[in-house]
Structure formats: structure tokens, C-alpha cells
Amino acid sequence: MKQPFKRINLTMTKQTILLLTCLFSSLLSFAQEAESPLLFVETESFEETGGWKIDQQSFDVMGSSYLLAHGMGRPVPDATTIVTFPQTGKYHVWVRTKDWAPYPKGPGKFQVLLDDQPLETVFGASGSDVWQWYYGGETDIAQKETKLSIKDLTGFDGRCDALLFTTDDSYTPPQEPKVLMDFRRAQLGLTEEPADAGHFDMVVVGGGMAGTCAAISGARRGLNVALIQNRPVLGGNNSSEVRVHLMGDIDKNYYPKLGRIVDELDNGDPGNGNPDGDEYGDERKLAVVEAEENISLFLNTHVDQVEMKDGEITAVIGRNIATNQEYRFSGELFADCTGDGTVGYLAGADYRAGRESQDETGESYAPEEADNFTLGTSNLWASVELDSASSFPECPWAIQFSDEYHIDEHKADWQWETGFGNFNTITEAEQIRDHNLRAIYGNWAYLKNHKQDKYARNALAWVAYIGGKRESRRLLGDHILTQMDIENGVMYPDGLVTATWTIDLHFPNAENSQYFPGEEFFAATKHIKVKPYTIPYRCLYSRNIPNLFMAGRDISTTHVAFGSTRVMRTCGMMGEAVGFAAALCRKYESNPRGIYENHLEELVDVISEGILEVQK
């Protein structure tokens, strides 16, 4: 049965979430602000975001998205909205922001405008990289309905989370994370039940290659599927927002039936960081998904809660990254294709992060001691050559380069990477992205100002503000794939997905390490050749959450084995396999482990030649 709404349309539900907390509000915990009129505005809910981008990458840390002025050095058009003040008169203005590059003072400057008149205070260059409320002075509001804007002054990634107006002289907005989270929820009216998005046979969280393939595969086997993605486009690292090309082969499969959906989504190989974003085929992916009647697609929706009953997931709850409207997606089966293993983590699934020790796994490529080292995150970029010369400012707040050391490239490739255990890929995702930006802008400023013979006519065409994350949590299944499984080419009875990529474990480039110890942003690798091998089905479901599948980089492997399984065609085929298995779960009213224990032969048969009909 089709859901009441198939695709959440931003314009349909978009509303400026401006909620007035009045005197005698029922929110006893916020008695202080209840004493005076107060207006709270989330910037991501502005009616017009102008040139500012909605960034949800730190949602799990901040409890909110924010607006980012990502102009690659050119100020972006203003973001604007109309707000209604509870009364006219004097208000104190508070702005929640940070100086993202306090080295010593950052470039992300912006102003707040009321009816096109700027407040005096310039925000974003405070010298502190902690998100906090900054006082913006007093202002006189002459009309209840007022145009509110934020004006970018630099084009260098200034950011603004929220604005607050109060008539109370002594009021200070909450700063402590938990209190702030409650405050947001209260102000946004999120304390009531989330909207019901429907009940599904399978809820797929994450619209990268793995999740998209899982949703399509399940839908084509007759399952009623929700596909939830926290960006406006599908494809994840292969989308135009990240621009990593698809790797891993689909023509060496033990079961050739896998890989067909991956092939449908594949828009050709534009390499990494191609300046033409269209090459990555966002539209193709969307069109393939929208052609599936059994898929309800929810873009711009970030899942941050799960509901459990008797140890199983019964629903996930996601919030629209622009409107902040919450939705509940209930279901029978769930597939964690988030990359970060978010659903599994929230549900209490067993997981690992970082590297196991040699003693633990017996792998020769594992370190002697277990640690928190992970592969990094890339923010790719590209310049294009134009007819005339252009300038780019010096960026003293960025990483500094010289003739002795700089990256002499007109565009990025995979080596532009930050992480490596220096930063946590989940809790410090914003810092990782920002470190990448400081490397990109610093290096580009060097090339433009000190190597003009070569770069005068090149101009930045694109810099990713969405990080292409390689590694985070690995959810543990009934089998944990190891280096030995790969090197010995072990063919388990449930070996389904054929992988071909080398064991490709990045580490900091040695020269980069020498210059930036502990702050590396450039990677090297050793490609350890492998022969095609198969990933067992038991790596694709959680060992302790009975109705949870996973596909993508968060499947059950060791860190070393992950070095080979993580490429996107391979991840896509995992999704396809999950879709097949989910259909069998529905057919037999079983769970993922039940299929392995009782119906493996049929699963293998289905992905070989058999045709599966789901009885409804």
C-alpha cells in the first residue's frame, strides 16, 4: 500500500519555526525566560537560505543543523526570513555561532540585519571555536512583523546556528548541551509526538550507495520500504556533494545477479573531485528510486532516535534538517546504512571503532596494540582554468604553506584527508571538515599568490563542505570478516557479496606528518592486492539487535578487512543482498539470523537464479 505521502517535499512542510514562549508557559524548567517575551529562531528554518548551506553533519553533537556561508572566498547572498515579535520595543539580541578558525582569529564574519539594517556587532571572529551565544546588543523593534537576515561578509564559511531576542536585561540563553537541547525542543514545539510517517516492511536509514541499493532491492521484491536520507540528494559519497567515484568491480561476482542495481545507479566514472557535479548522477539515482512504487523517500531527514521493544527496534525518529519537524517511521526490519552505524548505536548494537590488536584478530596488518585510529574524511575540491587571471586572498587563519612544502595540484584527489585518530570521525566531524578547509584554502592561497605563473587563471570551482567520511563504527554481526578471510579467499556457505578492492588502509603521508604532526591532512596508502572474495551474509546483520541489517562501511568486519570492503560498488551490492534477505524475512516472518539458520539455501538460490514472490 502506498504511503500517504511519498516524498517529503521541503516547500510543502517548510515553515519558519518561530515559537514564542509566553508568560505562564507550561515549561516550568524555563521559568526564567517565561518572565519576558522571547523569540527563538533556528537559522536552518529561514524561508530563504540565500547562498547559505544547511549543514547537518554535526547534528548528533549539537542537536541541530546550522547555516554555513560556504562561498569559497566570495560572500554568499543573504539568508532571510520574516519573524513576528510578540510585541514592539527594545530587545536584546543573542546569536549562537563560533569562530571556526581561531588562528588567531577566523574569517567567518557575518552580521545580523533587521529590516535590512545591520546590527553593529560583527559575529564569527571571536577567537574561540566553541559554539556559544554571543551578545549582539540592544535593538528597537518598531514593527511586530520584521524581516530578519544574516549577511555573510567573507565567503569563508561563517556559520550561524540560531538567534534569540529577549526583552529581559538579565537573561542569558542556555549553554550547557543537555539544557540547550531541552530548550531547543521546547522552543520548537518538539515535545509532542512526532508525525507518523507510516509503517514499513523495511526502514532503510542512509541514502548512500548501500542504502539506496538496499531500498531498491527490497522494493523490487515487494517490500514496502522507507528510505531516509539526511541530505537533499542520494548517493552519499558518490553524490555531487562529495564526488568520490565508485570503486570495486561488479563483473567478477560469484553471484552475477548482485551488482545490477549498482550498475543502474552508476553514472560513469568522472574520477574523484570532478568540477562538474552533474557527472555524479544525482538525478539518475533519484529517478531510479522515484520509479519504485514501493519506496517512500524521505530526503533531508536525520534519524537521531530509535524506539525499542523487547530488544528489537520498533521505530526510528528523524528530524527534517530544515524545518525541524519530527517523523516516526515504524517497521518490521531496519537497515543501518548510515555509515556511522547510527541506528545500531542508538539501539545498543554491539560495535567496534578504531583498530583491533594483532593479538585479538591474528591479522598481520593489525597494530600490536588496539587504538582509536580510523581512516579519515575527505573534502575534495577542484579548480578550473578560465580565460583571465583571478585573485584569491591570503588566508592567515588557514594552514600556512611555503615553497618548501605545498601541494602543487589544481584539484584534489583522495589524498586530501583528515582524521587518522587525530579527530573522532563522529563527535569531531565539524573539526575534521574545518581542518580540511583550512588546508584547502591555505594551500590555494599559496598557489594563487606565490605560483602565479601556473595558477593565475585557475579559480576554485568547487570545494566540498560535506565531508566524505571513510570510517566510523562497525556494527558486529554473527561473523566478523578478517584479513585471513580475505587473503585465504574463504568461501563460506553464506558468502554473498564479491569484493575485489585491495586492502587499502590509509595513513598520514610521511612528509605531511613531518610538517604537521598530529594535524595531518594528506594521506598515503599501501594497496595490498587481493583476489576476488565473498563477504558472508552474517556480516550484514547485527548479532544482538534481531531485526537490524546493515550495509555499507558499517558492516561487521575488522578494521583491516574494512580496508577492502569499504568501496562503494561493493557497499551497494551489500545493500542489494540485504534487500533480498529482507524479502525472505517477510516471506517467512523471520528475522535476519533466521534466514541464515533456516533459509540460507533459498537466499543463495534467489541471488543465483531463483525468483522470489512475496506473499502479502
Partner 1 sequence: MKIFLTFLTLTFLLGWLDKAPEEKAFEVYYPIATGDSIRIDVNMLYDKQGFPEAYFCHVKTPVCKEGLCHLLVVDLYWDLLGNFKRYELPPTAPLTKFDHEEFSEADYAKLDKILADKRSLLGENAVEDLVDGSSERVSQEVDAVTGATVKAVENTVVSGAVYSTYALWHLVNGEIAARIPGHTDSLFDQSLLEHFLASDNYRYHYYALDALTEKQYATYMPQLMQIIDRGSIFVARYALNKIPDAIYADPQWQLVITEQFPKADFTTQQLLLKRLQSVPVSGESLSILAQQLDQLSEQQLQGVLRLMIDNQASLREDAVDQIVQLVHHANPIYAEQAYKALQQLSVTHEQEKVR
Phi and psi torsions of 588, nearest 5°: -105, 10
Contact at 8 Å (CB) between 317 and 305? yes
Asked if residue 529 binds partner 1 (CB under 8 A), the reply is yes
In the complex, least distance from residue 167 CB atom to partner 1, rounded to whole angstroms: 20
Instruction: Kindly state whether residue 526 participates in binding partner 1, applying the rule CB under 8 A.
Output: yes
Smallest separation, CB 126 to partner 1 (Å) = 5
- Three state DSSP letters for 191-230: CCCCEEEEEEEEEEECCEHHHHHHHHHHHHCCCCEEEECC
Of the candidate residues 7, 10, 14, 105, the single one contacting partner 1 (CB under 8 A): 105
Q: What is the CA 330 to chain-centroid distance, rounded?
A: 22
Please give the residues from 194 up to 253 whose contact with partner 1 meets the rule CB under 8 A. none
3-state DSSP assignment of residue 417 = coil
CB of 555 to partner 1, least distance (A): 22
Binding window for partner 1 (CB under 8 A); candidates: 362-370, 402-410, 473-481, 574-582: 402-410
Residues near partner 1 (CB under 8 A), total: 31
Site string for partner 1, 439-478 (x = CB under 8 A): ----------------------------------------
| Strand pairing class (89-97; 156-166) | antiparallel
Q: Which is nearer to partner 1, 127 or 493 (CB)?
A: 127
- Is the CB of 248 or the CB of 419 nearer to partner 1? 248
CA distance 332 to 579: 13
Among 400, 424, 431, 544, binds partner 1 (CB under 8 A): 400
Tell me, letter by letter, the H, E, C secondary structure of 316-346.
EEEEECCCCCEEEEEEEEEEECCCCCHHHHH
Return the C-alpha cell found at 197. 510517517
H or E element at residue 562: helix 559-565
126 binding partner 1? (CB under 8 A): yes
Cβ nearer to partner 1, comparing 567 with 571: 567
- Nearer Cβ to partner 1, position 146 or 509? 509
**Which member of 10, 195, 370, 524 binds partner 1 (CB under 8 A)?**
524
Candidate segments 43-51, 181-189, 403-411, 423-431, binder of partner 1 by CB under 8 A:
403-411
Measured from the CB atom, the residue of 285 and 438 that comes closer to partner 1 is 438
Q: Which residues touch 70 (CB under 8 Å, ≥6 apart)? A: 52, 53, 76, 157, 463, 465
Count of helices and strands (H, E) across the chain = 17, 30
Among 104, 268, 362, 610, binds partner 1 (CB under 8 A): 104
CA separation for the pair 22, 33 (Å, rounded): 8
503-522 binders of partner 1 (CB under 8 A): 504, 509-511, 515
Query: Please, are residues 307 and 316 in contact by the beta-carbon 8 Å criterion?
Result: yes
> Between residues 200 and 381, which has the closer beta carbon with respect to partner 1?
381
Residue numbers of the site for partner 1 (CB under 8 A)? 99, 102-105, 121, 126-128, 134-135, 396-397, 400, 402-405, 408, 413, 501-502, 504, 509-511, 515, 524, 526-527, 529
